[in-house]
Amino acid sequence: MEKLAPICLFTYNRLEETIQTVTALKANSLAKESDLIIFSDGPKKDSDVVQVKELRDYLKTINGFKLIKINESTTNKGLAHSIIKGVTKVIDKYGKIIVLEDDLITTPNFLSFMNQALNFYDNNKRIYAVNGYSPLIEGVIEKGDKIYFHVRSSSWGWATWDDRWDDNVFDKSRIREVINENDSVLKKFDNEAGKDASRMLLGALTGRNNSWYIRWVFHNFIHDKISVYPILSKVLNVGFNPEATHCTGISAYKAEMDLSNNKDFEFDKIIDLKNKDYRFLKYFSRKYKFIFRIKLLASLNGRKMVFNELRTKLNSSMNIFK
């Protein structure tokens, strides 16, 4: 059996979500044979100190893995810096890696899928990432353990190899050079990776967001790389709430979870999903997200969700002027 990839878990101050993430991960059949390396970011503000300490106290109680190593930062690095540096450190040692954040619930066969995919695509240099999460792709019959490819990867449970990861790809000056040299590259990026892609990328370059992920996707897009997805998702994101650092508000993403407990995957069962397939790209359009919220208004619970999201955004906007 090939050596298993280490699991890299990035945490901050969300104790409840982290407990759910670790509990689900421990239920994986390969957990006891896997190394778990945890990165705990330091508090961003004084009000976070207690929460970070409580989370770190919990981290020290985790068991059920072959090896557990906890890296505690004395300062707040932020998610982007933590992931870029943390993944680089681990992947340089192990050669491959599986990455999770603290709000992702995995199915019991998540580690099996990720490790088998890493082994299967090891020599296929066009594949730059393996995704554990997959949005619902409507109209697929006899899903089984089918897979598909797309230029856009997911940041919700993913894996890669050392020869396809380089922290230099996140260099903003290099990205600006590519954009300045090709007037049409951003339009093509939107067409193939989603209508929010260039907006998110430009936001990362100007400081409106600190996304490592969109820089990673852009680098692989311009080099004609693709990522692999399972048609049945192995990951559920439970991090959409007002307290979340990055995923706040309502999630318009749909997913069909893998409840099969299948642990043997055949990666030749491929769905021919083109990069511009609406069934995938719709999730990244403002129109889809707006219509999704309009439909929520039909129920009392949905109206509460929309109201709470609006209130959170309003409070966030007001805090800018304080």
Backbone angles phi, psi at 128, to 5 degrees: -100, -15
Q: Say yes or no: 210 and 309 in one domain.
A: no
Of 8-12, 80-84, 144-148, 197-201, the range with the lowest mean pLDDT is: 144-148
Residue 40 domain-assigned (yes or no): yes
Residue 172 shares a structural domain with residue 217: yes
Residues near 37 by beta carbon (within 8 Å), at least 6 away in sequence: 6, 7, 8, 9, 68, 69, 71, 90
Q: Are residues 217 and 160 part of one domain?
A: yes
pLDDT per position as a tens digit, 13-68: 999 999 999 999 999 999 999 999 999 999 999 999 999 999 999 999 999 999 99
Residue 271 covered by a domain? yes
The length of the chain, given as a count of residues:
322
In a domain, 1, yes or no: no
Establish if 103 belongs to a structural domain: yes
Residues 301 and 156 placed together within one structural domain of the fold: no
Q: Which of 321, 164, 149, 135 is nearest to 235 (CA)?
A: 135
CA distance 25 to 223: 33
CATH of the domain at 67: 3.90.550.10
> For the chain, what is the domain count?
2
Range of the domain at 316: 285-322
Nearest to 225 by CA among 111, 293, 130, 322: 130
Q: Are residues 300 and 154 in the same domain?
A: no
pLDDT tens digits, one per residue of 227-248: 999 999 999 999 765 444 444 4
